[in-house]
Structure formats: C-alpha cells, structure tokens
Structure 1
Amino acid sequence: MSYSIAIIGLGYVGLPLAVEFAKKYKVVGFDISENRINALKNANDSTLEVEESNLKEVLSDNENGLILTTNPDHIKDCNIYIVTVPTPVDKNNKPDFTPLLKSSKVVGSVLRQNDIVIYESTVYPGATEEVCVPVLEEESKLTFNKGFFCGYSPERINPGDKTRTVTKITKVTSGSTPEIGKTVDALYKSIIEAGTHLAPSIKVAEAAKVIENAQRDINIAFVNELAKIFNLLNIDTHDVLEAAATKWNFLHYKPGLVGGHCIGVDPFYLAQKALEVGYHPEIILAGRRLNDSMGEFVATEVLKLAVKNNIEINTAKVLMLGITFKENCPDIRNTKAIDVYRALNDFNMNVDVYDPRASFEEVKAEYGIELIKSINKTYNIIVHCVSHSDFETLNFSEIRSKNSVFYDVKGTLDVNVIDKRL
C-alpha cells in the first residue's frame, strides 16, 4: 500500500508528526487557522517544536514533503488520516469533543473505500468507536470496518522537550481489526526510532494514554499535599523529598502547579467514563481537586510571607515570573499560573507578569493581562511560577527592593536567593 497521509491539526502534536512523516511520505497538513498555515508556510512555528531548517526541508521536498492547507478538498486524495486536535474540558470539567467531532466531520466528507483514520487525541476508553466512528460513517456513507477502518495511537509529545522528541518516544499503536493494527503499527514504526508497542485493541490504547496522565496527576497531588502538611510543620518539602529519594524505589515527584492541556485535563475524561458505567472515581477526582487548589495556596503563602516581613500589601509591587503552563514552552492553555495571579489580585496586590516565552497577544486575549516586556524596576514581592531557563540569568539582587520577599513555586532556584519555596 502506498501511503498518502493527511495530518488534521498542526499544533504541538500534529506539526512534529507531519514533518517526520513528510521525510518519507507525501503529507498534507490541514489546520482551520489561516494564520497558523501562513506562518508555517514561512517556516515559522510559534510552538517552537520544529526547527526552521527542518520545516523548510520538508516544505521544499518535491518527492515526498509537506503541503499545508486550510482547504478540505486538498486532503481528499489521501488514504491515511491522522487526527491530532486537542480534547479540552468545559467549565464543568466535562469532556468537550467539539474539535474531535468537527475534525471527524471533515475527514468523513472525503473518506473513500479502505481509507484508515487514526486518532491521536487523548480520550476515554471507547471514545474513538463510540463518538468518532458514527460521525465518519454518517459523513462518508461507508460502513466501519468494511468501507473504512480506524486506528488509535496516543500522542506522547512533551512540549518544550528537545531531547524526547516525537521519534524518540515509544509509540503505542492499535487498529480496529488485527490486520489494520499491524498496518498502523508498521506505518509508525517507519519513522519512530524508539520503536512501537501494538496494543490488542483501540480501547486498550486509549486507556493506556489516559492513565499515563492520571497517574502523574495523582503522584503530583500527593507531594502537593505533603507540601501543605510540611509547611504547617515548618519543614522544607524539597529537603524531605531529597532525603527520601535516596531509597531506590522512591518516586521523586515535586510539588507545583499542574496545568496544561494534558495532565490537568485528561483525568477528567477517565472520570467521566467511570461515572457513566456507575463507578465514582475517588482517587482520580481527589487528586484533581487538590492540584486545582494549589494556585490559591501559593498566593496565600506569599501573602503570609509578605505580612511576616512587614510589607504593606496594598502598596507592594509584585512581580510574577512566568505565565505559561510549563517551563521553556510558550503554551498558555490551562496554565495554573493564572490562578496564582488572580488570587494575588484578590488580595489587592499590584502584580506585573514577566514571561519572555509567552505571546503578549495571546496572554492579553486569553487572560486580559498586559505582560511587561522587561524588568526595569524593583519589587517588594517576587513569585517564581515557571522555571524558564531565561530566568536563570536574572540578577535578582537588582530587582528586589530593600524590603522584599522571594517565593519559589518551582523549587529550582538557589536557596540562598529565595526566602521560601513550595
């Protein structure tokens, strides 16, 4: 079978995948954002996941290469469709399948006999066949597993990680029939250096992905709870974790803010499915509640530290370092740093936010915050929320007022520089 591949959604997940496949196959990259497509045509990736040189290479490849488009007509000659759109939750933390349904509708409109549709978006077990397949059938007028087939291969992209890139992470694969499973596995194996793992069914692959993030969420919730306890006992949590980590089987997680479009969201998908089948997931939801409480906890600790050091809250100048959801990444989706910002504002603090990685326009549009472009004054309170490498070169003594406090949420700065850490 000669593969012609369409990648639906060119964000953090879709673009790196499209570039790697385009080195061996003809690939059409589809996205609904004209701004995104135009930027990529100029080899400008705002997510910083793909190097300009790599993008230029596949865009200029006449044999295989990558074609970029917002026009669904341009993907109709493909025979492999890989959907990489986000799967968010709504304001009630219920799964929002809107991007997935719209993408399935687009793909369904161009499906032909024997085409394969592979989903990479994180969902609960059963979602591909229960939610997406009916849309594909309705739009294509083809029958599942007779007219067309499906696969599921969960994304494992770690935004901002330049070491564990897409080809260096083991890929879980699956298919709607045993034969299609082998086809999907072979397709990914052709570009994934780290190898693949063929799961026995789509549901198994879906479940494997969603528990990866749920497990991490729960582990971080545990150490966040420890941080709350040890704070009351006046013990440094990081010192405790460092000591405990000397045991060979201790899992060395650290406390912090848990946001983003994966760990802070995906556990709700599994929880929703559990509720649908009559089980109330206690640990999963408890972990989510605890992690979602950390922004307010951090702000309260900052307030206590400031009061203890006789800083006048109403007139204090506050600097928050970082607004993205993780270090060395421009992504602000579902960032929990915003919870810290809002809680500090609720305490009537005057907060400046500095983040050289984030888009000024996106932060303004999403959160109504005007980022400062440089630090040109001193502050009474500094809160280190995101450990961008950019902050390592800051001279903190120059930006701290004479009477000031420095709180390190991430626990990555020199303990001699800060006053307290989470």
Structure 2
Amino acid sequence: MYDQLLRKEATLAVIGLGYVGLPIALEFAKQLKVIGFDINAGRVAQMQQAIDPSGELEAKDFEGCDIAFTDSLEVLRQAQFYIVAVPTPIDEHAQPDLRPLLGASASVGKVLKKGDYVVFESTVYPGCTEEDCIPVMEKLSGLKFPNDFKVGYSPERINPGDKEHTLRRIVKVVSGNDAEALETVAKVYELVVDAGVHRASSIRVAEAAKIIENTQRDVNIALMNELSMIFDRMNINTYEVLEAAGTKWNFLKFSPGLVGGHCIGVDPYYLTYKAKELGYDAKVILSGRTTNDNMGAYIARKTVQMMIKKGKDVAKSRVLVMGATFKENVEDIRNSKVADVIQELKNFSVNVDIVDPHADSDELLHEYGFRLTANDDIRDDYDAVIVAVGHKPYAAKDEAYFQSITADNAVLVDIKGLYRGQMQELHYWSL
C-alpha cells in the first residue's frame, strides 16, 4: 500500500475537512494523490476555491497540492487509504456524541474495498475504534475485519491558531490492528511528520494516550482555577503566586481561565463515560470538569459583586465583553465558555455588548443566541469591561483606552491577566 501511494497508483482520502482534516489532506497532497471529502457541500465549494472555511490556512497553502475536494461517495470510492478526522463532540448531557464519527464510518463502509486501510484521528474513548467504528464498516461493506481490510488509529494533535506546533513539527502517535498495519500507517505518516512517529503497541493504547493528554491539562487547569478562587478571598494575585512558584525547576506551569473548545473541555467526558460503563466513577476527572465548567458563571458573579460595591445599579448597568471565541486568535466558537459568562450576566439583568475581531456574528447568534456589537456602536459608559479572550489586538490596549469606553467607578475584569500591573486608576481584577 505504501509504495502504491508513493507511485500514485493508490489514492489517500481524508474524511472531514475541518481544522484537523484539511491541514492533513494538504500536507499529504504535496506528495500523494489525495481526495478531500466533506459532507458539507458549501465547505467543499470554498476549498475548491482555495479558501479554508476554518480561517486557519491561506490560499498559498493549497498551491502545488494534488487534491480533489468532493462531497461525492462515488469520488471517495476511488481511494484505498482513508483517514477519518471528524469531530467527536458531547451532547447537552455531557455524553459522547458519536453521530459524526459513526456517520463517517458509514460513508467509508459504503466505499470500502478488500485490501483498503482506514485510519481514525478523531478523539474517542479506548475501544471505540474497534467496538463502534469497525462493526459499522463491516456491515455496510460486506467485508470482514481484519482479513479484508486494515485499521489504524493516529490521534490528531492540531492546535488551532498555533503556527509553531504544526503537523510536521510534532511527534505523531500511530497504531495499527497488527504489525503490518502499524508499519504501513507509520511509514505513511512519516511522509508528512518531520518530528517522527511513535508506534503505540495497540489501537487502544493510542486512543487512551490521546484522551489523557487533554484530561491531564483539564485537571491541572481546574486546580489553578480553584486556587484562584481561594487566593481571591485572601486578596492575593494568582498570577504573582504562579510566577513565584514557577521558579522551582519541577513546578508545572498552568494558568487559570475559561476551558472551552472541542478538546480540553470535551475529551475528559469520553474517558469518564467509558469508565462509568466499566463500573468506575472517575472522581478526580469529573471534579475538575465541574470546576472548569462553572468558571464562566463565577467570573460573571464576581463582576456583578464588584459593580455593586462600586454603587452600580445592576439592572441598569452595561457591560462590554471583549472576545467570544473559545481561545485567542482563532475564529472557532465551539464550546466557548465566554457564552457562560454572558448568560450569567444576563441572568442578573445586565445589559451586555460583545465584540470580537475573529468571531462571526451570525454563527454566534445561531449557536448561543447573541450577536456581536459593531465597533462603531461601542459606547463610552460601560460599568464594566470583561476582557475574556487574549486576542492579539487586545494586548495593545492601555488604561486610556478602557477609560475612554467606561463610566466613572467602572470595573476592568482581565481573565487572562493581560494588563496586570498596568492599571493605576481603574478598578482592576483578574483570576
């Protein structure tokens, strides 16, 4: 299979062309013949015009790529090596939502041929590839695993907005259902990963490795958030504490903040779901999730308390929230915890305006029920400003700017600690 791909006698297909799938597809397309498949015809049309719907890549990134973008299963059928990179979200009950993954497995199953390879990149609980995805492909293809087709798992490590830790620069974990599959999958990924690959001993090990990467971060950030709430009661700045503690050689450097997005705020629930299915309640992981999920409401309540202390009539007050995406310098709003801040403020009858240089107002309305405020409509009498996301343009703001958009006795809430030590007159607070 590897040699056939190199000679372009076989075609590689990537199913799901979001922030993970598209960069992978384009990297492979610089050396191999590639089919980029997505069920969203509108997104496909954009990519055919060298436009990344996620806003992460530029037109030049499409240049020199042997790739055909399509939403047609008949075109997808021409491939022999499939990479599945679709989202794995959670539902409103914090349970794994496997519909995108199983839908992609069904699409592959409809076109799968004897001798083909299928590699999954989507984040899942250990066992999902073999227990949930393979049976779907077997049923729809009429083929039998592992005799008729090979399967691998190579968890994605794409970090939106990060131009340093790109696909080529980070070690890729790979796995296969047997030794032959493992070696083939490893050699294929070595074509596009300069940092090299790590061969996991099994698909389940690779699945578990991925899910604990983000679970570890989630639990550590939850600890920082809890410490922040404790230190706030002591009138101690958390960031100053972390700077001091960080001088020790083995101190792990995490910061408090809102934990959203489609990785850290989601992946731990896949692990706890599987653990519960096996009769174990994951107390530490779920405790961290609870802490992080409640941070938006905590920040909003703290803001309201400070406004009341400043003599503000909360029901008549107006707050500006700066930033609505799930993290800095990206367009992605999925699972943005800024929405929790805004909803809690509205629960107190606060009037809220929201701005963001990257987010799409229509997407925010569809997802969370609020629109962005136009820059021309930013007022000069806000009772509080919450800088919720550390977008690059916000880092350049100074006290004079915030004074120009606020009323007397206003409060500046700096979730990311961007302006620590810079505010002399405004009432300033950060986690």
Q: Which TM-score band applies after superposition, normalised by the shorter structure?
A: over 0.9
SS state at 1:397 partner: helix
SS state at 2:189 partner: helix
Query: CA contact under 8 A between 2:167 and 2:192: conserved in structure 1?
Result: no
Counterpart residue number, 1:62: none
For residues 360-389 of structure 1, what are the alpha-carbon distances to aligned partners after superposition, in whole Å with 9 as ceiling and x for unaligned?
A: 111111111110121532212100111110
Q: Residue 163 in 1 paired to residue 172 in 2?
A: no
Query: CA contact under 8 A between 1:356 and 1:373: conserved in structure 2?
Result: no
Q: Residue 47 in 1 paired to residue 57 in 2?
A: no
Q: Where in structure 2 are the equivalents of 1:175-214 lying within 5 Å?
A: 175-214=176-215
CA–CA separation in structure 1 for the residues paired with 2:348 and 2:51: 40
CA–CA separation in structure 2 for the residues paired with 1:114 and 1:289: 45
Counterpart residue number, 1:5: 12
Counterpart residue number, 1:114: 115
Structure 1, unmatched stretches of 5+, are 59-64
Counterpart residue number, 2:44: 37
CA–CA separation in structure 1 for the residues paired with 2:361 and 2:47: 20
CA–CA separation in structure 1 for the residues paired with 2:64 and 2:336: 33
Counterpart residue identity of residue 334, structure 1: N
Counterpart residue number, 2:130: 129
Counterpart residue identity of residue 11, structure 1: G
CA–CA separation in structure 2 for the residues paired with 1:380 and 1:52: 42
Counterpart residue number, 2:408: 402
Query: CA contact under 8 A between 2:395 and 2:418: conserved in structure 1?
Result: no
CA–CA separation in structure 1 for the residues paired with 2:416 and 2:422: 15
SS state at 1:382 partner: strand
Counterpart residue number, 2:230: 229
Counterpart residue identity of residue 377, structure 1: R
Q: Residue 14 in 1 paired to residue 21 in 2?
A: yes
Aligned residue pairs total 416
Counterpart residue number, 1:383: 386
Say which of 411, 417, 426 aligns to 1:411: 417
Counterpart residue number, 2:33: 26
Counterpart residue identity of residue 430, structure 2: R
Query: CA contact under 8 A between 1:319 and 1:383: conserved in structure 2?
Result: yes
For residues 159-188 of structure 1, what are the alpha-carbon distances to aligned partners after superposition, in whole Å with 9 as ceiling and x for unaligned?
A: 111111111111000001111001000100
Counterpart residue identity of residue 115, structure 1: D
CA–CA separation in structure 2 for the residues paired with 1:373 and 1:216: 35
What TM-score do the two structures reach when normalised by structure 1?
0.97
Counterpart residue identity of residue 389, structure 1: K
Greater mean alpha carbon deviation, residues 373-382 or residues 5-14:
373-382
CA–CA separation in structure 1 for the residues paired with 2:210 and 2:334: 20
CA–CA separation in structure 2 for the residues paired with 1:162 and 1:399: 33
Counterpart residue identity of residue 19, structure 1: L
SS state at 2:211 partner: helix
Counterpart residue number, 1:298: 299
CA–CA separation in structure 2 for the residues paired with 1:411 and 1:133: 46
Identity within the alignment, %: 47
CA–CA separation in structure 1 for the residues paired with 2:283 and 2:103: 32
Give 1:46 shift.
3.0
What TM-score do the two structures reach when normalised by structure 2?
0.95
SS state at 1:57 partner: coil
Give 1:396 shift.
2.3
Query: CA contact under 8 A between 1:48 and 1:160: conserved in structure 2?
Result: no
Give 1:13 shift.
0.2
* Runs of at least 4 residues off by over 4 Å: none
Query: CA contact under 8 A between 1:94 and 1:269: conserved in structure 2?
Result: yes
Give 1:138 shift.
0.3
Counterpart residue identity of residue 407, structure 2: S
Counterpart residue number, 2:253: 252
Query: CA contact under 8 A between 2:84 and 2:121: conserved in structure 1?
Result: yes
For residues 316-351 of structure 1, what are the alpha-carbon distances to aligned partners after superposition, in whole Å with 9 as ceiling and x for unaligned?
A: 121001111000011111111100000000011000
Say which of 387, 392, 402 aligns to 2:395: 392
Structure 2, unmatched stretches of 5+, are 6-10
Counterpart residue number, 2:8: none
| RMSD, matched Cα | 1.1
Counterpart residue number, 1:88: 89
Greater mean alpha carbon deviation, residues 390-399 or residues 376-385:
390-399
SS state at 2:198 partner: strand
SS state at 1:235 partner: coil
Query: CA contact under 8 A between 2:414 and 2:430: conserved in structure 1?
Result: yes
Query: CA contact under 8 A between 1:118 and 1:153: conserved in structure 2?
Result: yes
